[in-house]
Structure 1
Amino acid sequence: MSINIKLKNQNSNLDEILFPEAEQENSLGNWIVDHEEGQLAVDVYDTKHEIILRSAIAGVAPENLDVFLHNDMLTVRGVRHTENEPKAQWLVRECHWGPFSRSIILPSDIDPEGISAVLKDGILTVKLPKIERSKKIKIREA
């Protein structure tokens, strides 16, 4: 199974990415979301040629994950489903079940066509290749 990577251009509505199930309350742009959404913990590091995001996403199927790139913002969004809600009193409840997301502002320009996302052993790895802005050009004799 592959992870759905969606590229959004500058003209895309950012609210569609950040609040896909939200309803607009009024013309001032206040939003009401009908569910609680968990925040995804991530590690992001910068190498010479790419930015890499890693996150522990155990229990989530690849078809329940989306990765969006909108200008310089990367958003990972998904849903972790629980099989059966126990009919018992909770003693400790730390796991988040349901929708989650995380948005990161990227420090570099990214090549959107080269983005890859892999989910292996419960770890999501998103590789975002940088666009090379300056390059030394070798002069050759004619």
Structure 2
Amino acid sequence: MPKEKQSFLERLTGSIKPEPEESESVEMEVAVAKKNFVEERPREKVIVKEIPAMKKERTWMEEAEGQLTIDVYQTPSEIIIKSTIAGVKPEDLDVAITNDMVTVKGRRMKDEEVSQDDYYYQECYWGSFSRSVILPVEVEAEKSKATLRNGILTVHLPKLERIKTKKIQVQEEE
């Protein structure tokens, strides 16, 4: 029973192993294909001109922010968010709350400058950080409160009380 010849794609991707005698022909076909591809592409001269928007975008990318780790859980009456924010003063934190989202922003400042050559390990994040989280239920933003104790930020978000259906009894009018 004669074997069917494998397609070029099957041999190229390796989905079916080529026979030893076919190995050279596959390599040759690939080399020819690469040569033809390179020869067919015309050379273009590209002039890059920096526009102000590109400069602004590059600056934004250089100012990367760290992302806070958070725990979000609920009690029967509120949503609670906790985050470790050691080394940050309360006045350096900004907590923005809407009915369905919370954003925590801040900045952790170095208390001393150390040369990069003097570090053995550098794992702490210094600089701006932020974290936004979409809440699982709506909350009353006006009644929310945030506290910072021993480097732990705790945000209490009272759940929004939805008007529940109330049944009333129909009385006969005389």
Name the TM-score, length of structure 1 as normaliser: 0.71
Distance 2:58 2:79 in 1: 31
Partner Cα separation in structure 2 for residue 99 and residue 69 of structure 1: 19
- The separation in 1 between residues aligned to 2:109 and 2:150, in whole angstroms, is 17
> Residue by residue, what CA displacement relative to the aligned partner does 1:58-77 show, whole Å, maximum 9, x if unpaired?
10000000001244221000
Aligned residues of 1:62 and 1:119 also touching (Cα < 8 A): yes
1:59-98 equivalence runs, <5 A:
59-87=87-115, 88-98=117-127
Q: Distance in 2 between matches of 1:102 and 1:31?
A: 22
Give the whole-Å Cα distance in 2 for the aligned partners of 1:96 and 1:56.
12
Per-residue CA deviations over 1:91-126 (Å, capped at 9, x if unaligned) read: 211100010010100011110111100001110000
Residues 45 and 38 of structure 1: CA distance in aligned 2, closer, same or farther (over 3 Å): same
Query: For structure 2, which runs of at least 5 residues remain unmatched after alignment?
Result: 1-51, 170-174
Segments ≥4 residues shifted beyond 4 Å: 136-140
User: Quick check: 2:99–2:141 contact (8 Å CA) kept in 1?
Assistant: no
Map residues 1-142 of structure 1 onto 2, 5 A cutoff. 25=53, 33=60, 34-87=62-115, 88-135=117-164, 137=166
The structure where strand makes up a greater share of residues is: 1
User: What's the counterpart of residue 19 of structure 1?
Assistant: none
Unaligned runs of at least 5 residues, structure 1: 1-23
Distance 1:135 1:102 in 2: 33
CA-based RMSD: 2.4
Count of aligned pairs: 116
Deviations 1:7-53 (A, max 9, x none): xxxxxxxxxxxxxxxxx937xxx785241211000000022111000
Structure (1 or 2) with the larger CA radius of gyration = 2
Name the structure, 1 or 2, with higher relative contact order (CA <8 Å, separation 6+). Answer: 1
Q: Percent identity?
A: 49
TM-score (norm 2): 0.59
